[in-house]
Structure 1
Amino acid sequence: MSRTLRVGLTQWHPTADVETNLATAVDLVAQAGAAGADLVVLPENGLMLGTNVEMRARALKQNGPEIAALAAVAAEHAVPVVVGGMKNATPEGVYNSAVVIGPDGKVAGRYDKIHLFNARVNGQSFEASSVEQAGTTPVLLDLEQAVLGLTICYDVRFPELYRALALAGAEVLLVPSAFVHTTGRAHWHTLLAARAIENGCFVVAPATIRGGPDAGDAFQTFGHALVVSPWGEILADLGEDAAAVQVVDLDLGEVARVRSMLPVLEGTMPAAYAMAPERIRVMSNEESR
């Protein structure tokens, strides 16, 4: 019996204006729900994107009005929603959390981003650890149609997380992102295709897009919300210029078909990878005389 997951893929240009961002998010969820999506996934920092200082000062709350508004539209359309990553103020500190809202409008759980974007790109410093603290636990999302692995943006550069999720049963990997434009242009499509191919999974990656030259963005993001098949084919690419939503049908039978041809999960050897590598030294001509 065939299984299909209809995913609502989204992207838009967020700013520090939470109210405007939220209105866009609610509208796109409603559009995807009306189009029959089984799940809608929103990008990282889609509800608020600014400087580190701004994002920490305006961290949202999982039980706050923004999530309540998204929960209401999720319940209206009976569709689960993954808020792909928001600065989440908790009693334990601020996390970058992917919050899962069920089709009943109730918060079902969250994933806290494990790998923080502490990097320097074209002279600009991105010290995410000054805004948030790292999560420690991989998270799977069980839907009626499929098992999904939750990740966020910079996580995509750490393939061991995705392999762990796939080995635990993930058929679809979510990578909601606010990817820097420079690194996105160079790496975005390649990284997402690699995570799909090496695990035999679909990859669904909503994204934030950059504004115009006078937008005053803290940094420019790449857009190109993508869906990638387990074979590495790009099934949807929303470009980088406009807010958009597209409902994409994932034929989950493709996961089994690809994994039967290339059984990489069966062939993985974690015990070997944990061992310290042996070293072979080749002497120079001078040393061997």
Structure 2
Amino acid sequence: MSETSFIAGLVQLRSGQTVAANIDETSKLIREAAGKGAHYVQTPEMTSLLVRDRERLMNLVTDEEHDAALIAFRALAKELGIYLHIGSLAVRFADERERVANRGFLIQPDGDIAARYDKIHMFDVDLDKGESWRESRTYQPGEVAITTDLPWGRLGMTICYDLRFSALYRALAEGGASFLAVPAAFTQQTGEAHWHVLLRARAIETGSFVFAAAQAGKHEDGRETFGHSLIVDPWGKVLAEAGTETGVVTARIEPHLSAEARKRIPVLQNGRRFAIAASEPVHLHEVGK
């Protein structure tokens, strides 16, 4: 792989319930990122459609071959000559009627799809203030972690809630990834509490760059997302950060910094497998001896 530096760009969105409008807005911002010199551009989770109502979502999604957003973005990547990472789209399975995939796509500069990743971890949670989510009712979880090669190094693909499962990121790093992608639609509540610290932790504990494009603001379906798209270097330094509005952020990436961070603190080499054993119970009459 080449060690030449490159520019990464993140597109921050506020996707709504109309696919065509989302394609137009996203395409405009992708063009803006490419105009700023970005060679790799990432969009957030659920780029083309953010709909909380399950029935409405299921009526709108289609398979890959007929997905208007995927068709448009493949053409745009080819036109601009960039690696375009669509954080995720809701995609219908050919043989699954009740659930769809939450699927990310890495599109090559020739418009071909280099890699696909289906979100593994489902956001099934009950938060404060009555906020509740059950992604597993709508989405079929993935079962395979995915890495794919860029000209500058290997990329590990993840989506949103995956961020909380550190073993996934270590596995991707052990599989050769020096760039970790975390396109997301983090809620305002959880993002405010944990977004920055989790992204910086994933970078530090693996010695990897982290690219995290986010949804931001109050959406048509009533949800509120945190924004603050981040690019983090392997030492945990934030290289670029968006606010809470839609837009683009970019940063120059020096791939050799990943190898340097891993050499300084070789956690991937020093990690060891271990067993877990319960300690012997302490009897009351032994306390104090």
TM-score normalised by length of structure 2: 0.92
Equivalent position to 1:247, from 247, 250, 270 = 250
Aligned length: 282
Name the counterpart of 1:172: 179
Name the counterpart of 2:19: 18
Name the counterpart of 2:190: 183
Q: Distance in 1 between matches of 2:8 and 2:283?
A: 57
Contact 1:60 1:86 in 2 (8 A): no
- 1:221 match: secondary structure: strand
Q: Distance in 2 between matches of 1:60 and 1:191?
A: 33
Structure 2 gap segments, 5+ residues each: none
How far apart are residue 108 of structure 1 and its match? Answer: 2.4
Name the counterpart of 1:159: 166
Name the counterpart of 1:78: 81
Name the counterpart of 2:106: 100
Contact 1:33 1:77 in 2 (8 A): yes
How far apart are residue 285 of structure 1 and its match? Answer: 5.1
Q: Distance in 2 between matches of 1:185 and 1:261?
A: 31
Equivalent position to 1:58, from 60, 82, 85 = 60
Contact 1:50 1:218 in 2 (8 A): no
TM-score normalised by length of structure 1: 0.92
- 1:178 match: secondary structure: coil
Equivalent position to 1:224, from 228, 248, 264 = 228
Contact 1:62 1:99 in 2 (8 A): no
Equivalent position to 1:136, from 137, 140, 143 = 143
Name the counterpart of 2:9: 8
Percent sequence identity is 35
Name the counterpart of 1:206: 213
Structure 1 gap segments, 5+ residues each: none
- 1:171 match: secondary structure: strand
Q: Distance in 1 between matches of 2:132 and 2:257?
A: 40
Contact 2:240 2:250 in 1 (8 A): no
Matched, 1:30 2:37: no
Contact 1:175 1:205 in 2 (8 A): yes
Equivalent position to 1:113, from 119, 122, 132 = 119
Name the counterpart of 1:267: 270
Q: Distance in 2 between matches of 1:243 and 1:256?
A: 33
